[in-house]
């Protein structure tokens, strides 16, 4: 059997797209070289396009990349392999990829000159290899403890130092020529995960399990400064290319941090990029002077703009403002509110003073004092018209373009509480709200010259106290209002009839309501709740249907919009303002601003970025952010940044995934790649199973007794997903897991469902909008791992597979209320980790099982008369070198098996023999699940684990 | 290792406390012994990566009184009757020589290692470090084990585990992959049980203070340097150990009474203790 253990007829499988940990990044000239598992990918920085992509190592992953001094060759190394390739051959696609190997793990590698390379291995040995004939010398400093990290540092003066990061013994710095240990730095606790020396030979930096960064003087070995901030382990560090007092660091907490040594004993954290990646771990990164590139466990590659001009904050103190506009503001006077126009910013102070800030020349000009605006004033405007509108207590409107001011008499003569503006296609609206619930709203319509063309009284819907946001649907002439407790009211402005929908989600305040899509008698809305919940819904005025709803876990939502079909949200989290791309699951920017409190702020979208204007500690701050890179610098798409636990493919390539990060993602397989739409946070932890129940419903199960049913839909060709029901918890035992479930469709919206539990329970439910428990029993005391229904004629059976290696089949009565065991047989020594049960013909099913015991079995379930029997077709005790984790059916007699040994195998069976027809290694570690679908007559296999891989069969 | 609520619900954990074992791992060794009669006729043993010491406790109870038991770990261990404890890194050449000195020319009957490194999450690296722990243990076995002796080690059944099986098969009569019932089926953990040590003919291995595990094994590697090695992989028999009626470590058990016993093992201070303290004290805030 030897040698057929891991490769056989490999061409039966054609890998198409892998997603997985990015383990090496090197910026060189205009290119980014990326170790994407075994693949080398090269991107042009300017265009952000991929210019090269090839699998260069057979199995091993690339962990280090270097370019020769003459720029002609590239050196790749990773695990125990290394390779040198000529770059122009590579680009002309005529390079030969000759993978070479040493016996131990290569920590890092580099060129010492054009024809010599150095490899540092995990036992602190350096191979100095002459590339012309591969003669070599092995050099060590006599300290051979195991390393977790290390670097080879060629200093400007030509000296070469090895910096070795050990497990127990701190940092060891030694000179390659003299083989002498220069320093053994022991200030860190725990394993060292990164250490480097700057080119000029001034500093050493290191990081370890203790979560600190330490900076040393290279000439004395003295510790100069510490950098604290990372929330978990730090995986890498780099000096900036030309400023050796600046450092970047990346880590397990998915942050990228920029530090500066300013001579004090604490490194200053200049910038913090949070949530750069999804899940956990930024494994690799490199920095040039004004860009930084990071690669995560999520398989995403991101380029970050370090140019400070592109996120610039201007600050003006109240005193400064008062001085430049030559007007004495009162003590305690503050800026109440502001509105920005194309060329200027109009400010209203608490004492009724109006000030204009000229953006071009950065000067403040005093505009005047308005006594009715003392202690009150709502500042809004219409940017398209270049007009700022300020309402006083009586609802009169002060209108200004920054030069002239004019009052508009609203003629309501009553105290107002708020005004709202709305504009669309040369129509401009102001809605006035007053505190008395019996007094209607007044809706003003203006034309392009800002003359009132219409005034309407709009009766308040019942119990509408304070509204927080409005939107107008001009197609249907509907006014949409948001109020407390996530309640909306829709008023038909023709008939003035209104309809109220209460409690659309949890939470209290709707921070923004916006119209996605109006069509005749239909309206799609995006509702953002401050607590972090966003909802897409469709209404026809008489009812609403929720399409999509999710809760952000990162912070509050103040607003957002849909841009190019991507949901962009912004808000505050602790002391930061942040902009978040929900579709791509990345943070676009953050700005330290002291949090929201009750401060005024404005967020303004611009052509190529945005402005965020806020008050902070008596300063007016104007933050301008510009996108330097397209797609937010996201160069390569990725997936979950944690181990994928299960996946399921539905209609039209819809792909649902659950992962260790406790999220469910909804994706689509398009052009051999995976496009991500949503990442749902409804589960708490311990994800177990995900399965499409039919084309409209998806089910998922997890720890905490969670089982959720999701309704699938689509809005504007974008698939949507919404939790419609979940099982109630019966016990306060977080560890109680629903291991698996199965369903039988009764109608397209109702199901019979079986759920199986880690405490040996089996439950049968009827689902019709809600759950109705039909029956429950207990298997034994062990954990039930798998469940599936099967039917012979009208007879329904339930098959379970358990940790004791048995399968059991229960016959259910027609009403599902009673059960009796009809079969029980041991197929494996211990846990049955995977099953696949499918109907072969009217009176038999095929059951394939895979176990923790590395074995697979193929059986036939036959019903003869009233008797169900199981007949073994064949079994293989040596089906894999490790646990079998999934079985996916290709056709009636062929199936694919994944196991943790990272070998994917294609099996077939006939009569009484089972045969392995193909075997191929997958780079997806912790291989845990798979599914097969057919798209355009092509069979596609999706493999999940620590990453995701798409193969053609 | 503090106790989590999950630990409290774990029946092996509870039983370990009731029976006075320092860790639930004790049951793994006991179940392996039930299957393979590991303790029959052995006296001289080395327990590698032994902290907090439940395997050593088992050995100290099950072996004859005049046995020699050496236990080694990176972490300090509370003394156990009849067991010599050493605090050291088993991948360090000095450690193996120290152990050898304790045996003073005698050979060992049984060597075990339950070692596991801190997991980084980078699967390939974690598997490599784990394999180095096993190789260090194997290196000691080669120098110290009497012919016919037994060796067991914790493994993670990831990629390339079949390469290790093949290596071990050259040195032992029988190599088996065993998984005790007390080891969760969701974990990749298993144990390689090697029975009947047969020294490689013609190889007189010697431990040397300046020789790493790498240097040690390079003596028997025949591949030319830099060639991709001719990889011999081997599958071995899998045996699930423990009685079918034993506690299922994947199951959730209900109606457990409150556990009031003290934790079986004192938590050791993690390297990031200071970072946690600083964060708690708000000394972690970003400075502009
Ligand atoms: C699962 S515990 C062993 C439990 C032990 N068998 C018992 O029953 O109490 C794994 C141990 O491996 C140790 N270890 C990991 N790497 C080591 C190394 N290089 N040298 C010595 N011990 C190591 C850890 O310190 C840890 O205590």
> Does A233 share its domain with A369?
no
Test B159 with A921 for CB contact under 8 angstroms: yes
> Does A31 share its domain with A84?
yes
Query: Is B158 flagged in the annotation as binding?
Result: no
A208 at interface of B, judged by CB pairs closer than 8 A: yes
Minimum CA–CA partner of B155 in chain A? A882
Q: Could you tell me which residues come within 8 angstroms of residue A823 by beta carbon, excluding any fewer than 6 positions away?
A: A807, A808, A809, A868, A869, A870
- Does residue A238 fall inside a structural domain? yes
What CATH number has the domain spanning B5-280? 3.40.50.150
Q: Which residues of B touch A136 (CB under 8 A)?
A: 225-226
Query: Is B257 flagged in the annotation as binding?
Result: no
pLDDT of residue B244: 73
Atom index in ligand 1 nearest the CA of residue B92 equals 19
Tens digit of each residue's pLDDT (9 = 90 or more) over B25-84 = 999 999 999 999 999 999 999 999 999 999 999 999 999 999 999 999 999 999 999 999
> Does A149 share its domain with A288?
yes
Q: Which residues of B touch A903 (CB under 8 A)?
A: 159
pLDDT of residue A2: 37
In this structure, what CATH number is given to the domain that contains residue A242? 2.130.10.10
**Sequence-distant contacts of A45-51: CB under 8 A, at least 24 apart:** A45/A291, A45/A303, A48/A303, A48/A629, A48/A630, A48/A631, A48/A633, A48/A635, A50/A635, A50/A636, A51/A91
Candidates A651, A691, A692, A652; CA nearest to A670 is: A652
> Does A151 share its domain with A262?
yes
Test A883 with B188 for CB contact under 8 angstroms: yes
* CB nearest to B91's CB, from A58, A146, A877: A146
> Does A313 share its domain with A280?
no
- Strand order, beta sheet including A22-28: A22-28, A31-36, A39-44, A50-55
- Does residue A28 fall inside a structural domain? yes
> Does A132 share its domain with A146?
no
> Does A222 share its domain with A268?
yes
Residues A552, A534 contacting (CB under 8 angstroms): yes
Name the CA radius of gyration of chain B, rounded: 20
User: Which residue range(s) make up the domain with A579?
Assistant: 568-627
CA distance A505 to chain B (A): 32
Residue A69's CB is within 10 A of a number of other CB atoms, namely 12
Mutation choice for A interface testing from B49, B122, B127, B128 by most A CBs within 10 A: B122
Residues A609, A626 contacting (CB under 8 angstroms): yes
* CA A707 to ligand 1 center in whole angstroms: 38
Distance CA(A20)–CA(A39), nearest Å, equals 11
* CA B50 to ligand 1 center in whole angstroms: 5
Q: Which letter does DSSP use for residue B140 in this model?
A: H
Name the CA radius of gyration of chain A, rounded: 32
Distance CA(A217)–CA(A658), nearest Å, equals 47
Q: Which of A374, A391, A407 is at the close of a domain?
A: A407
CA distance B136 to chain A (A): 11
> Does A204 share its domain with A251?
yes
CA angle A696, A698, A701 (to 5 degrees): 165
Q: Quick check: helix, strand or coil at residue B5?
A: helix
* CA B113 to ligand 1 center in whole angstroms: 8
Tokens 């950098």 sit on residue: A227
> Does A186 share its domain with A229?
yes
Q: Which residues of B touch A759 (CB under 8 A)?
A: 251-254
pLDDT of residue A360: 92
pLDDT of residue A326: 81
Minimum CA–CA partner of B285 in chain A? A229
- Does residue A726 fall inside a structural domain? no
Question: Which residue out of B12, B13, B73 has the highest number of ligand 1 atoms within 8 Å of its CB and is therefore the one to mutate?
Answer: B73
Q: Tell me the mean pLDDT per 10 residues along chain B, length 288.
A: 61 89 95 96 96 96 95 93 93 89 93 94 94 94 95 94 94 97 90 96 81 84 78 92 85 75 61 87 64
| Burial track A713-748 (b if 16+ CB lie within 10 A, e otherwise) | beeeebbbbbbbbbbeeeeebbbbbbbbbbbeeeee
Minimum CA–CA partner of A705 in chain B? B252
Residues A248, A261 contacting (CB under 8 angstroms): no
ipTM reported for the complex surpasses 0.85: yes
Mutation choice for B interface testing from A227, A730, A830 by most B CBs within 10 A: A830
* CB nearest to A99's CB, from B132, B161, B228: B228
- Does residue A424 fall inside a structural domain? no
Catalytic residue among B17, B154, B181, B211: B154
Q: Which residues of A touch B179 (CB under 8 A)?
A: 830, 852-853
Distance CA(B31)–CA(B24), nearest Å, equals 12
Number of domains in chain A: 4
Distance CA(A454)–CA(A444), nearest Å, equals 6
- Does residue A218 fall inside a structural domain? yes
Residue B5's CB is within 10 A of a number of other CB atoms, namely 11
> Does A287 share its domain with A175?
yes
Candidates A157, A228, A235, A140; CA nearest to A195 is: A235
- Does residue A512 fall inside a structural domain? no
- Does residue A540 fall inside a structural domain? no
Q: Give me A675's structure tokens.
A: 């496009």
Q: Name the residue at shortest CA distance from atom 13 of ligand 1.
A: B49
B211 is annotated as an active-site residue: no
- Does residue A74 fall inside a structural domain? yes
* CB nearest to A297's CB, from B121, B210, B235: B121
- In A284-303, the residues whose Cβ lies within 8 Å of chain B are 297
**Sequence-distant contacts of A254-260: CB under 8 A, at least 24 apart:** A254/A278, A254/A279, A254/A280, A254/A281, A254/A282, A254/A296, A254/A641, A255/A230, A255/A231, A255/A282, A256/A282, A256/A285, A256/A292, A256/A294, A256/A304, A257/A227, A257/A229, A257/A230, A258/A292, A258/A306, A259/A213, A259/A227
Distance CA(A829)–CA(B107), nearest Å, equals 36
pLDDT of residue B265: 59
Q: Which residues of A touch B227 (CB under 8 A)?
A: 100-101
Test B235 with A878 for CB contact under 8 angstroms: yes
Q: Which of A381, A407, A433 is at the close of a domain?
A: A407
> Does A385 share its domain with A257?
no
The segments of chain A whose pLDDT lies below 70 read 1-4, 596-598
Based on the number of CB atoms within 10 Å of its own CB, is A260 exposed (0-12), middle (13-18) or buried (19 or more)?
A: middle
> Does A164 share its domain with A275?
yes
Distance CA(A582)–CA(A700), nearest Å, equals 21
Q: Which of A407, A435, A451 is at the close of a domain?
A: A407
Distance CA(A296)–CA(A286), nearest Å, equals 12
């Amino acid at each position: 059997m030897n040698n057929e253990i891991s490769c056989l007829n490999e061409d039966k499988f054609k890998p198409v797209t892998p997603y997985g940990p990015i383990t090496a990044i090197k910026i060189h000239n205009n290119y980014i070289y990326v170790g994407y598992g075994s693949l080398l990918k090269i991107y042009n920085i300017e265009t952000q396009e991929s210019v090269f992509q090839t699998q260069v190592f057979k199995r091993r992953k690339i962990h280090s990349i270097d370019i020769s001094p003459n720029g002609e060759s590239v050196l790749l190394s990773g695990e125990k392999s290394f390779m040198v390739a000529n770059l122009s051959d590579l680009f002309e696609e005529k390079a030969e990829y000759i993978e070479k190997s040493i016996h131990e793990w290569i920590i890092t590698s580099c060129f010492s000159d054009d024809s010599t390379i150095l490899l540092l291995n995990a036992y602190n040995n350096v191979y100095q290899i002459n590339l012309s004939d591969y003669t070599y010398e092995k050099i060590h400093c006599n300290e051979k403890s195991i390393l977790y990290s290390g670097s080879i540092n060629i200093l400007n003066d030509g000296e070469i130092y090895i910096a070795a990061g050990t497990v127990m013994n701190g940092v060891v710095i030694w000179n390659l020529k003299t083989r002498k240990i220069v320093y053994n730095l022991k200030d860190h606790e725990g394993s060292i995960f990164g250490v480097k020396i700057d080119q000029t030979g001034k500093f050493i930096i290191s990081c370890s399990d203790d979560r600190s960064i330490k900076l040393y003087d290279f000439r004395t070995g003295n510790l100069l400064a510490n950098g604290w901030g990372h929330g978990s382990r730090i995986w890498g560090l780099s000096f900036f290319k030309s400023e050796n007092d600046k450092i970047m660091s990346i880590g397990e907490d998915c942050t990228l941090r920029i530090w500066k040594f300013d001579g004090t004993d604490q490194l200053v954290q200049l910038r913090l990029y949070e949530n750069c990646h999804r899940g956990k771990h930024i494994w690799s990164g490199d920095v040039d002077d004004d860009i930084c590139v990071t690669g995560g466990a999520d398989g995403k590659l991101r380029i970050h703009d370090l140019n400070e001009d592109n996120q610039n904050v201007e600050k003006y103190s109240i005193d400064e403002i008062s001085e430049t506009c030559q007007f004495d503001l009162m003590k305690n006077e503050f800026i109440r509110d502001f509105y920005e126009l194309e060329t200027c910013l109009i400010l209203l102070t608490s004492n009724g003073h109006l000030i204009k800030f000229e953006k071009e020349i950065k000067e403040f000009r005093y505009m005047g004092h308005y006594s009715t605006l003392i202690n009150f004033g709502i500042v809004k405007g219409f940017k398209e018209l270049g007009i700022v509108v300020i309402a006083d207590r009586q609802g009169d409107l002060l209108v200004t373009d920054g030069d002239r001011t004019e009052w508009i008499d609203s003629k309501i003569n009553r105290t107002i509480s708020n005004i709202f503006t709305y504009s669309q296609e040369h129509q401009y609206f102001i809605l006035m709200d007053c505190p008395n619930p019996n007094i209607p709203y007044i809706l003003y319509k203006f034309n392009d010259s800002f003359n009132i063309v219409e005034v309407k009284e709009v009766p308040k819907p019942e119990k509408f106290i304070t509204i927080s946001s409005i939107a107008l649907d001009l197609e249907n002439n509907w006014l949409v209002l948001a109020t407390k407790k996530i309640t909306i009211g829709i008023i038909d402005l023709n008939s003035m009839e209104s309809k109220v929908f209460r409690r659309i989600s949890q939470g209290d305040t709707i921070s923004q309501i916006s119209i996605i899509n109006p069509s005749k008698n239909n309206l799609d809305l995006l509702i953002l709740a401050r607590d972090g919940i966003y909802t897409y819904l469709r209404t026809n005025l008489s009812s609403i249907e929720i399409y999509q709803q999710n809760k952000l876990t990162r912070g509050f939502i103040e607003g957002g919009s849909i841009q190019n079909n991507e949901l962009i949200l912004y808000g505050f989290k602790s002391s930061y303002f942040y902009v978040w791309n929900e579709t791509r699951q990345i943070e676009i920017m953050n700005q330290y601003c002291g949090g929201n409190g009750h401060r005024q702020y404005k967020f303004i979208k611009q052509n190529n970025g945005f402005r965020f204007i806020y008050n902070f500690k008596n300063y007016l701050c104007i933050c301008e952010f510009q996108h330097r890179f397209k797609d937010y610098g996201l160069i390569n798409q990725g997936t979950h940044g944690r181990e994928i636990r299960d996946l399921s493919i539905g209609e039209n390539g819809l792909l649902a995934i659950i992962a260790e990060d406790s999220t469910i993602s909804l994706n689509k397989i398009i052009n051999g790649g995976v496009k991500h739409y949503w990442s749902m946070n409804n589960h708490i932890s311990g994800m177990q199973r995900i399965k499409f129940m039919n084309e409209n419903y998806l089910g998922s199960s997890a720890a905490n007794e969670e089982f959720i049913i999701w309704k699938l839909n689509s809005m504007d060709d974008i698939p949507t997903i919404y939790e419609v029901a979940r099982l109630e918890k019966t016990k306060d035992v977080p560890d109680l897991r629903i291991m698996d479930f199965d369903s039988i469709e009764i109608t397209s919206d109702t199901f019979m469902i079986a759920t199986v539990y880690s405490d040996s329970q089996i439950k049968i439910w009827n689902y019709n909008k809600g759950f109705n428990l039909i029956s429950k029993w207990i298997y034994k005391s062990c954990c039930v791992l798998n469940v599936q229904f099967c039917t012979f004629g009208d007879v329904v059976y339930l098959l379970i597979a358990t940790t004791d290696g048995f399968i059991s089949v229960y016959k259910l009565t027609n009403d599902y209320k009673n059960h009796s065991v009809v079969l029980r047989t041991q197929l494996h020594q211990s846990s049955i980790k995977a099953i696949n049960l499918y109907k072969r013909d009217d009176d038999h099913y095929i059951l394939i099982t895979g176990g923790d015991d590395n074995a697979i079995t193929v059986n036939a379930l036959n019903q003869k008369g009233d008797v169900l029997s199981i007949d073994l077709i064949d079994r293989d005790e040596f089906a894999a070198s490790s646990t079998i984790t999934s079985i996916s059916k290709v056709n009636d007699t062929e199936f694919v098996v994944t196991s943790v040994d990272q070998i994917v195998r294609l099996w077939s069976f006939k009569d009484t023999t089972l045969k392995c027809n193909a075997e191929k290694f997958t780079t997806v570690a912790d291989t845990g699940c798979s599914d097969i679908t057919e798209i355009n007559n092509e069979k596609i296999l999706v493999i999940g684990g620590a990453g995701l891989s798409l193969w053609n069969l | 290792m503090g106790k989590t609520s999950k630990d409290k619900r774990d029946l092996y954990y509870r039983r370990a406390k009731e029976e006075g074992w320092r860790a639930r791992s004790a049951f793994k060794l006991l179940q392996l012994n039930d299957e393979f009669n590991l303790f029959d006729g052995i006296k001289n043993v080395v327990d590698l990566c032994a902290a907090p010491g439940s395997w050593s406790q088992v050995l100290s109870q099950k072996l004859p009184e005049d046995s020699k038991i050496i236990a080694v770990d990176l972490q300090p261990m509370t003394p156990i009757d009849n067991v010599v404890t050493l605090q050291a890194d088993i991948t360090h050449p000095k450690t193996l020589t120290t152990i050898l000195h304790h045996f003073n020319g005698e050979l060992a009957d049984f060597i075990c290692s339950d070692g596991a490194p801190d997991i980084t999450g980078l699967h390939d690296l974690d598997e490599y470090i784990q394999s180095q722990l096993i190789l260090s243990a194997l290196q000691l076995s080669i120098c110290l084990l009497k012919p016919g002796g037994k060796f067991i080690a914790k493994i993670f059944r990831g990629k390339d585990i079949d390469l290790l099986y093949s290596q071990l098969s050259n040195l032992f009569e029988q190599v088996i992959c065993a998984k005790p019932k007390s080891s969760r089926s969701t974990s990749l953990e298993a144990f390689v049980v090697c029975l009947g040590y047969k020294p490689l003919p013609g190889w007189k291995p010697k431990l040397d203070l300046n020789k790493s595990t790498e240097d040690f094994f390079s003596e028997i590697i025949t591949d030319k340097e830099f060639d991709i090695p001719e990889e011999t992989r081997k599958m071995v028999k899998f045996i699930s150990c423990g009685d079918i009626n034993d506690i299922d470590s994947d199951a959730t058990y209900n109606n457990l009474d409150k556990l009031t016993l003290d934790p079986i093992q004192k938590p050791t201070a993690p390297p990031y203790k200071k970072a946690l303290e600083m964060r708690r004290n708000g000394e972690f805030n970003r400075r502009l």
